[in-house]
Amino acid sequence: MSENLLAGFQKTPSFAIYDGESANVRFTGKLDPSFTKEDKNGIIHEYLGIEVFLISHSNEMYKHRHESVLMLRTGRTSTLAKWANDPDGGIKSVNPDIVFKAFNSAKLGFDLRVESMK
């Protein structure tokens, strides 16, 4: 049995959806309630990490990450985090074949809409 002994030390690629941005994603159903990322100043920030298959992102900076599995970073108390953690549905009830368009607005928070079926 072969197992990657370094898996726990590898950095997980991640992305965020900032004010005015959007992304098309498929949710895998996996959550990391204490996902961390260190910023350029060495400060470690803690997020809810939502594993997604990123289809596209409105920010060109993420173009090289399209069509790959990443962690979507969101505030632990954001509207997206509340939906994902909802025990009566949320991330656990999502069909992985559904493509969602996720928007973020500083004024309104996150908006999630069904874009298409796989």
Tell me, what's the pLDDT at 11?
72
Per-residue pLDDT of the chain (118 residues; tens, 9 = 90+): 556 555 555 578 999 999 999 999 999 999 999 999 988 999 999 999 999 999 999 999 988 999 999 999 999 998 889 999 998 888 888 888 899 999 988 887 788 888 888 6
Residues 6+ apart with CB under 8 A from 82: none
The answer to whether 96 and 29 are in contact (CB under 8 A) is yes
- Backbone region of residue 23 per phi and psi (left: phi > 0; alpha: psi in -120 to 50; beta: other values): beta
Tokens 């004010």 locate to 19
Q: Which pTM does this prediction carry?
A: 0.83
User: Strands 44-57 and 109-117, how do they pair?
Assistant: unpaired
Spatial distance between the Cα atoms of 82 and 94, rounded to a whole number of angstroms: 14
Tell me, what's the pLDDT at 92?
82
